[in-house]
Amino acid sequence: MYKSLVVLILLAPAALFGQMLGDPHSVYEIATENNLFVGIRAAGMAGAQIAAAEDGAALWYNPALLTRIHRVELAGALSYQRFFNQTTYNLNPPVIGDEAQTNNTRFNSFWAVFPVPTDRGGLSLAFSANRIKNFDRIFRFESETGWWNNPYAAGDGYGGGENDIGGLWAYSFGGGIEISRNASVGLSLDLLDGGDEYTQMLDSISGLYTYSDRFNLDDSYTGVTGKVGLAFSAGPNFHLGTVVKFPTEITIKQVYDERLEINGEVDRYYGTGRYKYVMPFSFGAGAAYYFNQFLLAADINYTDFTQIEYKSGLNRVSANEDVKRYYRDILGISIGAEYSFPEQGLTIRGGYNHDPIPFKYYSIDRDPNTFTGGFSYLVDRTLKIDLAVNFSRWTTGDPDFNNGISTREKYWTRRFYLGVSYRY
């Protein structure tokens, strides 16, 4: 998958401008997908938290649920990811590339929740820092299986790939307040910050002709959004929630460099750039049912990504028309369950998440599906340890990856989460 490139080219090949206008890749935004679960409990329940959140993750999923927290809470978490890719390059016959893998360990989240004493009802304020988007990934292709691992020994052929390292963080501030015995409302402000170090590689050998290209693009992200949530208890066992996420404005600053070597002669190119776009409103709803020690929760989230609007950096008219052509609206689904063993201080969790890719230009054989599991253990009255594991898989393809040749790209991930929370 190619990155959006909006740079002031300094000594750049004219061919690079082909990616500026009329190219679907020029409006592909990595931040429209690659969502992460916020909080270890949510990671174990596949993100089904709009009506079920009971910890500081409520600030992200539905700030109205912060009123459920009656003691000061501090929590933090780490995540470990294994990301895999295997690409079929549709030559005649097709070439199935070697499996590629990248591993990453990241700080994942921190939050603090502070209940505020009131004469009537409940009020809680919170701050959190959460990694909400994961940009760490790998992609490889080759003209014959194994060529990329040792190109000069393999002889004539070609291969390459892409590496992404980075993510997007949300620094959130907000609170929730009870407005009646059975209802609460909440509001949050989310400041976004992050980056993506992207590398694109291509090597080719044909007889005495050698070609090697290394393209690096560093994107720095800043942005702002927010949300308003509502929670309602329809009885002691049944709870409902809804949340509206406001439009998300994202500004990207880019620094670009390229090293091109042809038959031993090297050229270097550099550039910088900046552009801005806005993602549309997003709407979510959830329900949670409690039966003794068992909890079942389900959420849906709807976003119409055809409403993405470029504000600067690209030809706005052309880019916004391309958005309507190459994006789609999506409906995400989360289903989670939890069972508690109070005497043992143990809670086990599981879930399923369906998180469609909005960029429909990439032929999507299988949208990302994630199966989750996890547990928590109450060490004592104030300290709890949480663990979760996620298994995700999806398949996409580029219909015109290289001169009319298409690809079929299989991706799968394994993520492991470890967190600690303290309440007093």
Per-domain residue ranges of the chain: 8-423
Return the higher-pLDDT residue of 181 and 52: 52
Contact 82, 392 (CB under 8 A): no
Write down the residue that tokens 């031993």 correspond to.
264
| pLDDT of 197 above 60 | yes
For 5, list phi and psi in degrees, rounded to 5: -130, 110
Total-model pTM: 0.91
CA 263-267-269 angle, to 5 degrees, is: 145
For 314, list phi and psi in degrees, rounded to 5: -110, 170
**DSSP label of 370:** E
Percent of the chain whose pLDDT exceeds 90? 78
154 membership: H or E segment, kind and range: helix 151-154
Sign of CA dihedral 150, 152, 153, 157: positive
DSSP string for residues in 300-366: EEEEEGGG-EEEESS-HHHHHHHHHHHB-EEEEEEEEEEEEETTTTEEEEEEEEE---SBTTS--SE
Q: Which residues have a Cβ under 8 Å from the Cβ of 54 and sit 6 or more positions away?
A: 41, 65, 68, 69
Residue-level length of the chain: 424
Q: Which residues have a Cβ under 8 Å from the Cβ of 260 and sit 6 or more positions away?
A: 13, 212, 213, 214, 266, 267, 268, 269
DSSP string for residues in 213-230: EEEEEEEEEEEEEEEEEE
Contact 91, 97 (CB under 8 A): no
* Type of residue found at 411: Y
Range of weakest confidence among 153-162, 219-228, 316-325, 343-352: 153-162
CATH of 8-423, one of 1.10.3300.10, 3.90.180.10, 2.60.120.10, 2.40.160.60: 2.40.160.60
Q: What mean pLDDT do residues 279-305 have? A: 98
d(CA 83, CA 340): 32
Write down the residue that tokens 């007093």 correspond to.
424
**Rounded to a whole number, what is the largest CA-CA distance in the chain?**
83
90's tokens: 């549709």
| pLDDT of 238 above 60 | yes
Q: Which residues have a Cβ under 8 Å from the Cβ of 273 and sit 6 or more positions away?
A: 5, 6, 7, 8, 253, 254, 256, 313
Q: What mean pLDDT do residues 397-416 have? A: 90
| pLDDT of 5 above 70 | no
Average confidence score pLDDT of the chain: 92
Range of weakest confidence among 53-57, 367-371, 402-406: 402-406
* Residue 263 zone, left/alpha/beta (φ > 0; ψ -120 to 50; rest): left
d(CA 419, CA 108): 9
SS3 (DSSP) at 54: coil
347's tokens: 């809670």
| pLDDT of 119 above 80 | no
Contact 53, 62 (CB under 8 A): yes
Q: What mean pLDDT do residues 42-63 have? A: 98
SS3 (DSSP) at 381: coil
Range of weakest confidence among 10-19, 126-135, 224-233, 319-328: 10-19
Contact 396, 363 (CB under 8 A): yes
Number of Cβ within a 10 Å radius of residue 112: 16
Write down the residue that tokens 């800043």 correspond to.
222
| pLDDT of 258 above 60 | yes
